[in-house]
Amino acid sequence: MKTLGLLIKRNIKLFSKDKGLLLSSLITPLILIVLFVTFLGNVYRDSLEKLLPAGTVLEKSLEEGIVGGWLFSSLLATTCVTLAFCSNFIMVQDKTNNALNDMLVSPVKKTTLAISYFLATELITFVICIIALIIGLVYLAIVGWYLSFTDVLLAVLDVFLLTLFGTVLSSIINCFLFTQGQMSAVGVVVSSIYGFVCGAYMPISSLSNGLQKVMGFLPGTYATSLIRNHLMSSSIAEMVKAHFSSLGEEVASIYLTNIKDGFDLNTYFLGNKVSILACYIIIIVAIILLLSIYVVINIVRKEQMK
């Protein structure tokens, strides 16, 4: 355990000493926050207004609370995974500069090295993403706060599961990368594509039926839905209470469903609605499955080295 702790500390130190890597990791969420708020805010304000009953005018704070929750859930859904690839750069860097070979000839077990890379990546990614979550919560507190303490705790849990998912996914892929060029190429591809395939950039409901069915098989879709629900449900519930009560229960329910469908709070698998509990089960099973693959890869490589 002492060796593992020293290796984790060593990996975190190497990450923090690389100023370019550290700066890019910290500044990327901030850039995305500015881009999301500046360029996508009005798009989703318009989308929300189109889903409301005719003549409904929301209070500014309520509107901003809903839109802000959507924007920051999109940011976190993307950053928690893509940032893990950046944080896991030390694994590839050690292969490039032959530091891994030096450690392998020492008494340190290869499994201990693999675990140290994994835990260091998770810690780095989780801390940075929690900072991004705090920035989002501060923003919501300024423009329109409707979250409960439970919502905040569940959002933290969502961030933890998302970063864990991103960490194990990047760990598997990085096992097969041996140069910084390969790592950079994978990072660019993941950063460009993941936001679309998890429904962070565009609501899944706005895509074709074929794409919606395909995305129903991706764990990231359900992780995105979880964090959307925990950052948006309370403000939407307040909107229903304030503006939909006069419509009648049946009509209000129709509008509420349309809004939740339009902003991906409701997730569907082959036409069937997936519950919040089922979303948690799916992402946890996906993490366990990917973690098992990572363990098998390291066991196989250890046997090959023997």
pLDDT tens digit sequence for 136-163: 899 899 888 899 999 999 999 999 999 9
Q: Is the pTM of this model over 0.85?
A: yes
Computed over every residue of the chain, the mean pLDDT equals 81
Crossing angle of helices 219-239 and 249-262, in 10° steps, is 140
* 3-state DSSP assignment of residue 55: coil
Backbone φ and ψ of 117, nearest 5°: -60, -45
% pLDDT > 70, the chain: 89
DSSP code of residue 203? -
Q: Is 156 exposed, middle or buried (0-12, 13-18, 19+ CB in 10 A)?
A: middle
Backbone φ and ψ of 145, nearest 5°: -100, 120
pLDDT at residue 102 greater than cutoff 60: no
pLDDT at residue 246 greater than cutoff 90: no
Query: Does residue 196 contact residue 81 with C-beta atoms inside 8 Å?
Result: no
**Which helix H or strand E contains 199, and what residues bound it?**
none
- For 267, half-sphere exposure in the C-beta direction (CA atoms, 13 angstrom radius) is 27
Query: Does residue 171 contact residue 88 with C-beta atoms inside 8 Å?
Result: yes
- In 3D space, the residue among 240, 265, 255 whose CA is nearest the CA of residue 51 turns out to be 255
Q: What is the mean pLDDT of residues 158-185?
A: 84
How high is the pLDDT of residue 153? 94
How high is the pLDDT of residue 156? 95
Cα dist from 201 to 20, 181, 183, whole Å: 26, 27, 24
Query: Does residue 73 contact residue 231 with C-beta atoms inside 8 Å?
Result: yes
> What are the tens digits of pLDDT across the range 67-79?
888 888 888 888 8
- In 3D space, the residue among 39, 67, 40, 38 whose CA is nearest the CA of residue 52 turns out to be 67
pLDDT at residue 306 greater than cutoff 60: no
How high is the pLDDT of residue 20? 66
What is the C-alpha to C-alpha distance for residues 146 and 238, in angstroms, rounded to an integer? 8
> What are the tens digits of pLDDT across the range 4-55?
888 888 878 877 776 666 666 667 667 767 776 777 777 778 778 888 877 7
